[in-house]
Structure 1
Amino acid sequence: MMSLPKTIINLPVARILLFLVIVLLVFTSCSRRIHAKGPVEKYLDIMPPATLSTVSVPISIPIPVLQNAVNQQIKGSLYALNNLSYTGAESFSMKVWKQAPILIRGWHGDQFEVTVPVRTWLKGSIDTDILGLKIKKSTTANLGMRIRLATKIALDGEWQVNTTTRILGYQWIKAPAVYLGPIKIPMSFLANKLIDSQLKYIGKRLDAEIKKQVKIRHMLSKIWQEVQAPFLVSEEHNTWVMLEPKSLMMTPMNTRNQTLSTIVGVRGYASALVGSKPKPLPKQPLPQLTLKKSLNSEFNIYLQSSIDKNYVIKLAKKNFLNQTFRSGKRKVKVIGLNLYGSGKKLVIQAQLKGSLNGTVYLSGTPSYDAKQKNIVINDLDFSVDTRNKLAKIADWLFHRRIIRKIKTAIEVPVKAKLEETLKEARKALNNYKVSPGVHLQGTIHDLHIEKVFMKPKSIVTWILASGKIAVILKGL
């Protein structure tokens, strides 16, 4: 039997092998694999910086309250003097009593107008001429008058109250006179001399009592210590605010609207801490007074907030997963996604299937888009190793349109988060009790995200909160 040529027997096998080679070449030309290395996983260990801020302390003392306190202390006899002598008057004695309640009202700027009704008793000898005859007569007189004074109030460098009282004038309720039978001898001129030289005693007494009642240093010493204690502004995030005070400022005192008022500014560095209640800083002594015409009572502080990483991944997968990216006849689908941090950068780890199979890495700096109120990654791009490998096997993926789609898919809306933080901060500052008699009252009028970075389990934001905070004194 004749055998067939060997080459004829192996012809189908050769064709099969050729077909397989062609299929393999076609397949490998359409679908390539990538084994890129991602950026090193590492996280920033930083806290928000302290900000220079001012806590305002409005101090107001109702003038009627001051008036009542002064009247409680100044009662009955004011002063007594003996052996007073002037031309036409010898060996006079004088006693002065408060006749009715002292009246105090706001006057000009930092001054009170004080009216003191007094009764004055005079006894002594007077020399006078009547129809050319010199007459010497012993006399006793009870006089009534209203004395008007202006008291200026200020503080020295050690926060001690200083007052200066001057006489504005006085008014006789009944003009003083001496009667010799039917003849009336006016004593106004003599009495005026006696009174003018002695009114300083009433001014000194008034100054002493106002100093006792206006206890500015006492109030400020307590405030200065209290504002250095940490206070809670967010129960949910366990966020505490601490103020490291550096200086005390005060506006000039004012007596408008029947209230002695001023504003004290505690200037210092405010910082927010997350976790258990921090230990208070070493207490600083009360600094010297710095007087300012006006105070900028703006309070700024960084609050730290976080967005759960799993929530961000879930949101990104909803926008991103199973999306197909095309360039001509080539396409890839995203079948897996993860996020992590590499220093200041946020890294996206994406698993691809299609014309390119494997894992690629993109990274960029997260930031806040104030207009859209989203966390975005404006400088998103492939990592260095991914870029180098794609340049060799799939440079079509460098198309900016694909990067833009990925960047849009990874945006995180934070409007609701900011509104929640604002609501919580405002609630915390609504009559926050620091200690008995000392409350914080404030409002936050603006929140702005200044910094965004990754932590192992979350995206952390530094939120700059701006507003006004005042220390309200109750019963001090």
Structure 2
Amino acid sequence: MKNTLQAFRFAFFILLLYSCSTIQKIEIMKPEPDEALPISYKITSSYISFPLKLTVKDIESQTNKSLNGLIYEDKIIDDDKTEMKIWKNGLINITEENEKLKIILPLKIWAKVKYGTSALGISIYDTREFNLNGTVTLLSDVKMSNWKITTSTELENIDWVESPTINIAGKSIAITYLINPTIKIFESKIERSIDESLSKTLDFKSNMLDLMQKVSTPVELSPTYQTWLKITPQELFATEAVLQKKSINMNVGLKCLMESSIGLQPKSNFVREKVLLKPSSNLPDRVLINVAAVSTYEDASRVMNDNFKGKEFSSGKRKVTIQNVAIWHKKGKMIIALDMLGSLNGKIYLSGFPQYNAETKELFFDDLDYAIETKSKLMKTANWLAQGMILNKIRENCRYSIQPNLEEGKQNILKYLNNYSPTPGVFVNGKMNDIVFERVQLTNTAIVAFLNISGNIKVDVNGM
């Protein structure tokens, strides 16, 4: 997720760097910033839905990692008159057969069986030890429950590599003809050991919550501009798992909030216990992302100063050069303060609200004008500036097409939708529609730009 969303910063910078690129005012009565509490803004939830495929070969690989050496041990003989140890005796082979997992497991079994009778208060018991070495074949039904894939395994048959033996007076006696009819003694315990192992291997709940915790850690998109992306997961959805075509297939959905910001690293809002994990009968194969790109006025001023300090504007023989830029909020508009040197020395203030034209894909200030304090002073001291020639040039420079930036952002994202592998064995493919710059909102403390993007994603797990 981190890399896919890096391109969102472009619209963020456009708002800060271009829409205010030529903002100017004069200093006599400074329009003081609002002191009211910050105005809240609403973030629309994003939805990321994608099919997830886990190949049977990966299940085989993870099961072999999970099951090694002694895989089952029962030390209590009195509960069912059987004590048992089961060892994995070679690599497990797992395939798909008629929408079930077919598991071939080489194993070695040692068992102690207690037998005898109890009557008239007298107990007469003895024990016998069995040694078995063979390959068992099992079939497992696969189901999804509470974000955990569960299996119901049944033993189909056992092929003995060595004849089963029993210890009698210190000697091993072959008992193949006896053990085959009584294999039920061991069958349920073998089935249980396989189900327990597959349950650990295919537990998506803890894995997904671990992943969500990583996703929620704010990511720095650009060290140069100190831009950050913060994702707050809200809900996770999953459809029933289906085993077919040599893989377990399911659809996964994520509902989350996304915010981009400039400045210091924001704090994560992730609370593991608050993330809801829900089943779903059907999830659309689509992505709908809404991003709120946030910049405090202090950080926006810093970025603009880095890019526009020393910019010159002229009208005839008159010239002014910007020395410093600062912006803040006042009664629903942006106040832009410009320190100038040249034909006019001092500080002027502009007032306006950034607009966006969706048809032309342009950012502009529709009503950018001198603040009242500035205009009254200019009329007395610098009428040539008040008449608007410089202001008109500022307005012209403020109109900027972001179409190339939108296209560049789209191309950057597409790189991560063409067999992209964020981690070994995981592959991401997909397509996306155009990025849409939706609107701008000013708060008392920050500028908020809203973007959205749609498309679809497919995630394959193959070769972990």
Task: Compute the TM-score of the two structures, normalised by the length of structure 2.
Answer: 0.51
Q: What does 1:413-432 correspond to in 2, within 5 Å?
A: 413-419=401-407
Q: Is 1:275 aligned to 2:263, yes or no?
A: yes
Report the counterpart of residue 193 of structure 2 in structure 1.
205
198 and 156 in structure 1: CA distance in 2 versus 1, 3 angstrom threshold? same
Q: What does 1:6-45 correspond to in 2, within 5 Å?
A: none
Report the counterpart of residue 115 of structure 1 in structure 2.
104
Taking the aligned partners of 1:200 and 1:145, their CA distance within structure 2 comes to 16
By how many angstroms is 1:220 displaced? 2.7
Report the counterpart of residue 288 of structure 2 in structure 1.
298
Query: Pick from 138, 142, 165: which aligns with 1:149?
Result: 138
Report the counterpart of residue 462 of structure 1 in structure 2.
449
Q: Is 1:53 aligned to 2:41, yes or no?
A: no
Q: What does 1:68-467 correspond to in 2, within 5 Å?
A: 68-69=64-65, 72-73=68-69, 101-107=91-97, 111-116=100-105, 148-157=137-146, 159=147, 162-167=150-155, 169-170=156-157, 194-195=182-183, 199-256=187-244, 258-260=246-248, 262=250, 264-281=252-269, 283-285=271-273, 287=275, 289-292=277-280, 293-294=282-283, 296-304=286-294, 308=304, 343-344=331-332, 366-376=354-364, 411-419=399-407, 446-452=434-440, 462-466=449-453
Report the counterpart of residue 86 of structure 1 in structure 2.
none
SS at 1:64 equivalent: helix
Answer whether contact 1:78 1:96 (CA < 8 A) is retained.
Answer: no
Answer whether contact 1:53 1:299 (CA < 8 A) is retained.
Answer: yes
1:50 maps to a residue whose letter is: I
Taking the aligned partners of 1:210 and 1:224, their CA distance within structure 2 comes to 23
By how many angstroms is 1:275 displaced? 1.2
Taking the aligned partners of 2:74 and 2:326, their CA distance within structure 1 comes to 83
By how many angstroms is 1:112 displaced? 1.2
Taking the aligned partners of 1:432 and 1:449, their CA distance within structure 2 comes to 28
By how many angstroms is 1:276 displaced? 0.3
SS at 2:68 equivalent: helix
Answer whether contact 2:364 2:398 (CA < 8 A) is retained.
Answer: yes
| Larger gyration radius, structure 1 or structure 2 | 1
**Greater displacement, 369-378 / 40-49:** 40-49
162 and 286 in structure 1: CA distance in 2 versus 1, 3 angstrom threshold? farther
By how many angstroms is 1:433 displaced? 8.6
What number of residue pairs does the alignment pair up? 348
By how many angstroms is 1:256 displaced? 4.5
1:243 maps to a residue whose letter is: I
Taking the aligned partners of 2:87 and 2:421, their CA distance within structure 1 comes to 48
304 and 428 in structure 1: CA distance in 2 versus 1, 3 angstrom threshold? farther
Answer whether contact 1:48 1:271 (CA < 8 A) is retained.
Answer: no
Gaps of 5+ in 1: 1-37, 82-93, 122-141, 177-187, 323-334, 349-360, 385-403
475 and 47 in structure 1: CA distance in 2 versus 1, 3 angstrom threshold? farther
Q: Deviations over 1:78-137 (max 9, x none)?
A: 99x9xxxxxxxxxxxx9999887543113455x41223568999xxxxxxxxxxxxxxxx
By how many angstroms is 1:407 displaced? 8.2
473 and 206 in structure 1: CA distance in 2 versus 1, 3 angstrom threshold? closer
Q: Is 1:66 aligned to 2:62, yes or no?
A: yes
Answer whether contact 1:55 1:471 (CA < 8 A) is retained.
Answer: no
Taking the aligned partners of 1:258 and 1:252, their CA distance within structure 2 comes to 16
Taking the aligned partners of 2:422 and 2:132, their CA distance within structure 1 comes to 54
SS at 1:199 equivalent: helix
Taking the aligned partners of 1:314 and 1:285, their CA distance within structure 2 comes to 52
1:207 maps to a residue whose letter is: D
Answer whether contact 2:432 2:453 (CA < 8 A) is retained.
Answer: yes
Taking the aligned partners of 2:430 and 2:68, their CA distance within structure 1 comes to 36
Taking the aligned partners of 1:118 and 1:298, their CA distance within structure 2 comes to 49
Taking the aligned partners of 1:213 and 1:377, their CA distance within structure 2 comes to 57
By how many angstroms is 1:250 displaced? 2.2
By how many angstroms is 1:269 displaced? 2.0
Taking the aligned partners of 1:346 and 1:446, their CA distance within structure 2 comes to 29
216 and 277 in structure 1: CA distance in 2 versus 1, 3 angstrom threshold? same
Report the counterpart of residue 131 of structure 1 in structure 2.
none
Taking the aligned partners of 1:117 and 1:228, their CA distance within structure 2 comes to 43
113 and 406 in structure 1: CA distance in 2 versus 1, 3 angstrom threshold? same
2:68 maps to a residue whose letter is: Q
- Superposed CA RMSD in Å reads 6.6
SS at 2:272 equivalent: coil
Taking the aligned partners of 2:222 and 2:430, their CA distance within structure 1 comes to 14
1:302 maps to a residue whose letter is: A
2:453 maps to a residue whose letter is: S
By how many angstroms is 1:277 displaced? 0.5
Q: Deviations over 1:226-253 (max 9, x none)?
A: 2222112233432222222222222333
Taking the aligned partners of 1:100 and 1:453, their CA distance within structure 2 comes to 64
